[in-house]
Amino acid sequence: MFKYSLDNKRYHTLNYYYQTLFHHKVFKVSLNANFSCPNLKNGNGCIFCLHGSNSYDVEHNNDLVRQFNEVKHVLEHKWPNGYYIGYFQANTNTYAPVSILKEKFEKVLSLKNVVGLSIATRSDAISKECYDYLEELNKKTFLTVELGLQSCNEKTLKFIKRGHDLQNFIDAVANLKKRKIKVVVHIINGLPYETKEDMINTAKFLNTLDIDGVKIHMLHILKGTELEMIYKKKPFPILTKEEYIDIVIEQLEHLKETIVIHRITGDPDVKDLVAPTWLVKKFCVLNDIDKEMVKRDVYQGDRVEKNM
């Protein structure tokens, strides 16, 4: 069994990470604090983005406690003593004055059995005052900051209208790590016109940074996005499930085994999805990755060790 897994996975699982740290069942509760995004202010946002977010919708606006308790109520029937991490997921969750951040973050931190926060944001949306506040927050709770990179290819970043360059991202990671804050990076496979080599290079690039975790997504084309218009006007190749699995496994082989794999496939809402349709069968993708890793007899970090 891989030393960073409790369930026969061949990569460093989030379940192992949380169990080792907390000796408890831990759940992330997704929250929408109604933040905006600097990329929307400067344009129309990334071309793959639906309304400037991940299409995570809530009915209760700013009522974070109600959002949290609705999820907790479902989970605690099976795990009555579970621990929770408030996951500020939608949009850019540091894109506001620090006074507003404090109000929202600490409201969730005050809830029973909340042991930490995970804050999704952009590298170009963290002010000096925000870095200082995050450093303070990190001293009193289990804090993770999630940064979207998507690709280390500068041409790709421009094509998808990311709104910042690679150096901006590198600087943000360095600023967070200088403050001993845990960093998780989001990358996307299958971005328009990227090759397999481009995607593998993005994984290799992550090894050059002092990051703690990674989320691997498959590009999905959503209705109402600029990407949908581009695709309809001039369709570009979309990865098949088999191609995606092949790339993910090779990325895992190139990633240091100490990097936690927080996510390994996308999870789109079927009502918004244009393509690829195979993504809706999330557990089939996960199972096929496991099976193929066994077939190849490979583990996370294999190629890192061989190249050292």
Residue at 148 is within a domain:
yes
Residue at 6 is within a domain:
no
Residues 147/92, Cβ–Cβ less than 8 Å: no
Query: What's the pLDDT tens digit per position in 91-123?
Result: 999 999 999 999 999 999 999 999 999 999 999
Residue at 234 is within a domain:
yes
Residue at 7 is within a domain:
no
**What is residue 305's predicted lDDT score, i.e. its pLDDT?**
57
What is the share, in percent, of the chain residues with pLDDT greater than 90? 81
Question: Looking at the predicted structure, is the pLDDT value of residue 57 above 70?
Answer: no
Cβ within 8 Å of residue 30, ≥6 positions away: 56, 71, 87, 89, 90
**What is residue 56's predicted lDDT score, i.e. its pLDDT?**
46
**What is residue 38's predicted lDDT score, i.e. its pLDDT?**
84
Average pLDDT over residues 2-16: 94
CA gap 263, 13 in Å, rounded: 9
58 — pLDDT class (breaks 50, 70, 90): very low
Residue at 116 is within a domain:
yes
Domain, as residue range, for 155: 14-307
| Local structure of 231: helix, strand or coil | helix
Secondary structure tally for the chain: helices H, strands E: 12, 9
Average pLDDT over residues 255-280: 93
Residue 88 bridge partners (DSSP): 31, 119
Residue at 224 is within a domain:
yes
Residue 273 bridge partners (DSSP): 222
- CA geometry: angle 276, 119, 262, nearest 5 deg: 50
Residue at 2 is within a domain:
no
Average pLDDT over residues 280-305: 94
Residue 74 Rama label (left phi>0; alpha psi -120 to 50; beta): alpha
CATH code at position 78: 3.20.20.70
CA gap 293, 246 in Å, rounded: 9
* Domains in the chain, number: 1
Task: Report the interhelical angle of 241-254 vs 196-206 (nearest 10°).
Answer: 30
Residue at 253 is within a domain:
yes
